[in-house]
Structures are given as structure tokens and as C-alpha cells.
């Protein structure tokens, strides 16, 4: 393609300017691989240096987070907020509290968020943030003090018209509550729209907790329908057992599917008779115990595989659908080969970039329907935007109404992604469709706003 050298030059410069940030490099590579045909059709993007500008965050904020643990020991963590692109609206993206969080992690997540948010069709830009703080094993008091310290710096960079953080790994309604309380205390404003993922009794939205998991299943349902298939009777693997995974399992069950595997950081369970969701939720959400407890209490044919992922499960059973809902780069090339051999029809990313480049190549070459995270897991941020709408209008919607809105948004994302793939000559390629549809919406807004 005539613009291949342009793309490669810009990618090489991105690597040079962002050394060591391998996840960010991977995210940029995956988008750039789809854009040659777009630049051929839209030379104005090259002339305005859109690719160079879209890879450079508008603002990167790094700060110290000092706090005191229950023993009186002063602890120090590092906080991040990468405000990546606001061409479509205020920055929008979660906060991740996990010991693996580095600047490159936050940049990769923020870069993905830009296109994911664009695909929703809603007026929100992209950003991401977090800290290398690990909430596991910490008391409520320690988590509160950490969140208050984090917000004492972060508050000056956010706002309902500027940047609206939400939750992510390690940040749920409890953490959002502590963060919002400190924001309110410092600013003396009950600015509900500054954070999403709030409790439903104080400005939160029904369905927000379920939204990412539900949305991934809705998107997969639309993909399956293109092949005359559905979840009814489908055997499904879901990685993880956190918020996204639990509600993906719930919606799969509601649509007639059978989830036979789940996992956490300690290992995976295989339940060939179908996951007992009530038991799993009790163990993970109420008791906060390891997933091995599920195997102990469920009994029967359930197996626990210590240190393994669900993609390592050995079984003669077919697997129709795979929903990776845990973390980035969790499906390897070898595991993708195993999924193809098991008869998998569709894979949809409930997590951000959980499929390695090698695994993605295997799945696409095998003709597996593949829903990339920027399309398939956009339900969470879409419902966050619905929460912002309710906050702005001082309104509160019922569960059924909000879920219907979410379902409509996911249908629109699927339609937009599939139609773009058709337009650019790669029907059924949701990766290319999502990348181009998200990119062109942001790029056109950037052109309209001038060189800023």
C-alpha cells in the first residue's frame, strides 16, 4: 500500500519516543495494521499528521501518593492519569489499582479507550489512570486513606467537563465512594458527574456493575447471529471471576448457554456440568476467597487447576465461545490453537487486549469470529456515559430501561463495526472494522478542531 512506509515510519518513531512500553507498542501496532487502506482513502489524515498526534497523549500526569497503614508505617505509591484524547468530549476511562501498573500500562489502556469510546457513538474522549497500589489484603481503613491521598492530587486534574474517571481492576464501588468523598470534601461541590461507577443510592446507575460483562455477551450474540448461531446450548469458557466475568456468566446463562470454566490469579476451575453461579458469587463477592474453594464445595466432576488459566483446560468437550475477561495478553498462540481444535466459533474480549498477537493471528486465520475489546467490552464505558447523563439531568433510570439502552448501544457498535469492515473490503473482520470506525470518528473530530 502507498501509505505503508508512512505508517511504519510513524510506528518506529512511536517506539523511539516511548521506550520499554511494550503493551503500548502492541496496542499501537494493532491499530496501525488496519489503517493503510484508510490513509489511501483519506490523504487529509496524513497531511494533518493525525497518526502522530493520536499516539501522543494530550497530558500525562504522574504523582506521589503517600499514605499511612494500620501499623502507622508511611507508605508511598505512584499515581497516574493519562488524558489521551479529548476531541470527542471529556476524557473518560477507569482507574486501575494493581501492583503491575506502570506508565506504559496506563498509556496502552488509554490509547485503547480512545477508540472504544468513539465506537459507542457517545460524546466522550479517552483517558486512563491508576496506581501501583495493591488493595488485596488491605483493611477498609487503609484503602480509604490511600484513596483520599490519591484524590488529594488527582482532584485538580478532573471534572465532569474535563476528565471523568471510573473503576477498573482493584477499583470498585467502595474505592469510588472514598475517592468521591474526598473530591466533594476538597471542592465543596456535589459534582456527581465527576466519577462513574458510584453506588446507586448516591448518583450511580443501575446496570453499571453488570455492564461490561453483559455488553460483551450482547456483542457476541450479534456476532453469532451472522452465522445463524446463538448462545442457546453453547458451551462457553470465561476467564476471570471478577465483575466482568461474573456478569458475563450471568448473561450467558440467561441466554441458554453453559459456562464450563472460570479462573482467578490462583488457578482455574473446570465444571463440565456448568458453573453454579450462585456458589461462585458467594465465594468471590461475599467471602472474597480463592476459586479453589469452588471445587472443594461444588464437588462432583469439578477440577481445580492450580496456577493454570481456563485456556489450559484439557477436555474432550467442545467449546463454542470463549470470553477472556481477566487481563491483557492472557491467551497465547498455543492456547488459541487449542481453542480452534475444540471447535470454538467466537471469541470476544471482555478484558482489554487479552489476546496476544500470535493468538489473534491463529483465530483469524481459522475463521473464528473475533470481537476485539474496543468493541466487545465497550458496554462498561457506555453505561458510564449513561450514568453521566442521569447525573447531568438529576435523574435516575430503572434497571430495564438502562439495560435496554446498553443493548441498543452494543447493537450499534456491532453494526458500525461490521459495516466498516464491509466498506473497506474485509467483511466479517471485526478487528479492522473496529479500528477504522473508531479511528475515523476521532480523526475527523481532530481535523475539525484544528492543530491543537
Which positions are annotated as active-site residues? 128
Query: Binding residue per annotation — 265?
Result: no
The rounded distance, in Å, linking the Cα atoms of 258 and 249 is 9
The rounded distance, in Å, linking the Cα atoms of 243 and 170 is 10
Burial class (CB in 10 A: 0-12, 13-18, 19+), 423: middle
Give the side-chain half-sphere CA count within 13 A for 162.
Answer: 11
In terms of DSSP H, where are the helices of 228-276? 243-254
The rounded distance, in Å, linking the Cα atoms of 61 and 189 is 23
The sheet that has 163-166: what strands, in order across it? 59-68, 74-85, 126-131, 91-97, 163-166
C-alpha cell at 217: 455477551
Query: Binding residue per annotation — 212?
Result: yes
Nearest to 5 by CA among 31, 30, 39: 39
The rounded distance, in Å, linking the Cα atoms of 213 and 25 is 27
C-alpha cell at 16: 523511539
Question: In terms of DSSP bridges, do strands 346-348 and 369-371 run parallel, antiparallel, or are they unpaired?
Answer: parallel
Residue 236 main-chain phi, psi, to 5 deg: -130, 140
Query: Binding residue per annotation — 251?
Result: no
Helix (H, G, I), strand (E, B) or coil at 68: strand
The rounded distance, in Å, linking the Cα atoms of 327 and 290 is 17
Query: Binding residue per annotation — 230?
Result: no
What letters, b where the CB count within 10 A reaches 16 and e where it falls short, cover 69-107?
eeeeeebebebbbbbbbbbbbbbbbbbbbbeebbbbbbb
Burial class (CB in 10 A: 0-12, 13-18, 19+), 6: middle
Give the side-chain half-sphere CA count within 13 A for 442.
Answer: 29
Helix (H, G, I), strand (E, B) or coil at 412: helix
In terms of DSSP H, where are the helices of 129-172? 140-154
Longest pairwise C-alpha distance within the chain:
64
Query: Binding residue per annotation — 384?
Result: yes
The rounded distance, in Å, linking the Cα atoms of 384 and 167 is 10
- Cite the annotated binding site for substrate by residue number: 92, 113, 116, 167, 384
- Cite the annotated binding site by residue number: 92, 113, 116, 167, 212, 243, 384
- Cite the annotated binding site for NAD(+) by residue number: 212, 243
Amino acid at each position: 500500500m502507498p501509505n505503508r512506509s508512512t505508517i511504519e515510519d510513524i510506528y518506529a518513531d512511536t517506539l523511539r519516543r516511548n521506550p520499554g512500553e511494550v503493551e503500548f507498542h502492541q496496542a499501537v501496532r494493532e491499530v496501525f495494521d488496519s489503517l493503510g487502506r484508510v490513509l489511501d482513502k483519506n490523504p487529509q489524515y496524513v497531511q494533518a499528521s493525525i497518526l502522530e498526534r493520536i499516539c501522543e497523549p494530550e497530558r500525562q500526569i504522574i504523582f506521589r501518593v503517600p499514605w499511612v497503614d494500620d501499623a502507622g508505617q508511611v507508605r508511598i505509591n505512584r499515581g497516574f492519569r493519562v488524558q489521551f484524547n479529548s476531541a470527542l468530549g471529556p476524557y473518560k476511562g477507569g482507574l486501575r489499582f494493581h501492583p503491575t501498573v506502570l506508565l506504559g500500562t496506563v498509556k496502552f489502556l488509554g490509547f485503547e479507550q480512545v477508540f472504544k469510546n468513539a465506537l459507542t457513538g457517545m460524546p466522550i474522549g479517552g483517558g486512563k489512570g491508576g496506581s501501583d497500589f495493591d488493595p488485596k489484603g488491605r483493611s477498609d481503613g487503609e484503602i480509604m486513606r490511600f484513596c483520599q491521598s490519591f484524590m488529594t492530587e488527582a482532584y485538580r486534574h478532573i471534572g465532569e467537563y474535563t476528565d471523568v474517571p471510573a473503576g477498573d481492576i482493584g477499583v470498585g464501588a467502595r474505592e469510588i465512594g472514598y475517592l468521591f468523598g474526598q473530591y466533594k470534601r476538597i471542592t465543596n461541590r456535589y459534582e456527581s458527574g465527576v466519577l462513574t461507577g458510584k453506588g446507586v443510592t448516591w448518583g450511580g446507575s443501575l446496570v453499571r456493575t453488570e455492564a461490561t460483562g453483559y455488553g460483551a455477551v450482547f456483542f457476541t450474540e450479534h456476532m453469532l447471529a451472522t452465522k445463524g448461531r446463538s448462545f442457546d446450548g453453547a458451551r462457553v469458557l470465561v476467564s476471570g471471576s471478577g465483575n466482568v466475568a461474573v456478569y458475563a456468566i450471568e448473561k450467558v446463562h440467561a441466554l441458554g448457554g453453559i459456562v464450563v470454566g472460570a479462573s482467578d490469579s490462583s488457578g482455574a476451575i473446570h465444571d463440565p456440568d456448568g458453573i453454579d453461579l450462585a456458589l461462585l458469587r458467594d465465594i468471590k463477592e461475599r467471602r472474597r476467597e480463592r476459586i479453589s474453594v469452588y471445587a472443594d464445595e461444588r464437588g462432583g466432576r469439578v477440577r481445580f487447576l492450580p496456577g493454570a488459566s481456563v485456556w489450559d483446560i484439557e477436555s474432550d468437550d467442545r467449546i463454542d465461545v470463549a470470553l477472556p475477561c481477566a487481563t491483557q495478553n492472557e491467551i497465547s498462540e498455543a492456547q488459541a490453537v487449542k481453542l480452534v481444535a475444540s471447535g470454538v466459533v467466537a471469541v470476544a474480549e471482555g478484558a482489554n487486549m487479552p489476546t496476544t498477537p500470535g493468538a489473534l493471528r491463529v483465530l483469524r486465520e481459522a475463521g473464528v469470529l473475533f470481537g476485539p475489546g474496543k468493541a466487545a467490552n465497550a458496554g462498561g464505558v457506555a453505561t458510564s456515559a449513561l450514568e453521566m447523563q442521569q447525573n447531568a439531568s438529576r435523574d435516575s433510570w430503572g434497571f430495564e430501561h438502562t439495560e435496554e439502552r446498553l443493548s441498543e448501544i452494543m447493537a450499534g457498535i456491532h453494526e458500525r463495526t461490521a459495516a466498516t469492515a464491509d466498506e473497506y473490503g474485509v467483511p466479517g473482520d471485526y478487528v479492522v472494522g473496529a479500528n477504522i470506525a473508531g479511528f475515523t470518528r476521532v480523526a475527523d473530530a481532530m481535523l475539525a478542531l484544528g492543530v491543537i
